[in-house]
Amino acid sequence: MSEGAGRQAGQPELLVGKEAVVEAEDGGQLPVSIRAIHDRYLVLAVLPASGPVCPPAAGQIVRIYFSDPSGRWMGAARLLQTCGDEGGDLVVERPSSWERTQRRRYYRLPVELPLLWAVDRPGTRPRWQSAVSRDLSGGGISFVAAGIRQGDRVRLRVAIGSEELALEGEAVRVSPLNGHGAGAAGTSTGGSSGESSAGMSIVGVRFVGLSPRTEERLIRYLFQVESARRQLRGAR
């Protein structure tokens, strides 16, 4: 019997239609939405992807992440029924407890996306420059650029499919490009690889102030890309 929406003390608000992410034991992630809420279990619909999914095996413990107006939550539960490689529904035990979480585990996917970046420094106007991402996750992005220092606040405009996401982050890693391979990613300058790599660095940016909706959009995009790649590998 399905339960109505509501919140118990110290518990998140579960609502039918709410989007979430299921994380398997191996770190793989599936974007889902809550299809039904029962006393002892939840039915989760796997969101559409561009290729076959890689479902977790029934019986393993999965983590369910989602957000509500009070914050981000994580609950661990046993997977009772898995879906097929074309999607479908997952059935999981209803978590007996939920805990608030500030950070999530993310896997990074090598992907090249056009982007614009600008350092946000007090007293200066942002100067937008172009680059191409090296990899992307739900929590950050890396690309090759010059003029960014560790700790800088960075504004980003990243093309995801047919839309552009406006993001902000902090440069948490800035490593000289020399020794990493200049041709591994796009840069913000033209010319030959020798010219463009001079003074360039691999910049790792951790997203800050990311809305739950934007975060789930990023994760869903990565899921679609990985599914399409698996489908291509399987066709060979």
pLDDT 10s digits, 155-207: 999 999 888 999 999 998 898 887 544 443 444 433 333 335 568 999 999 89
pLDDT 10s digits, 143-158: 999 999 999 999 999 9
Query: What b-and-e string marks burial along 134-150, b requiring 16 or more CB atoms within 10 Å of the CB?
Result: bbbbbbbbbbbbbebee
Report the distance separating Cα 118 and Cα 121, nearest Å: 9
Tell me what pLDDT residue 112 has: 93
Q: Which domains does the chain have, with CATH numbers?
A: 19-100 (2.40.10), 109-229 (2.40.10.220)
Tell me what pLDDT residue 1 has: 46
Query: Mean pLDDT for the chain?
Result: 80
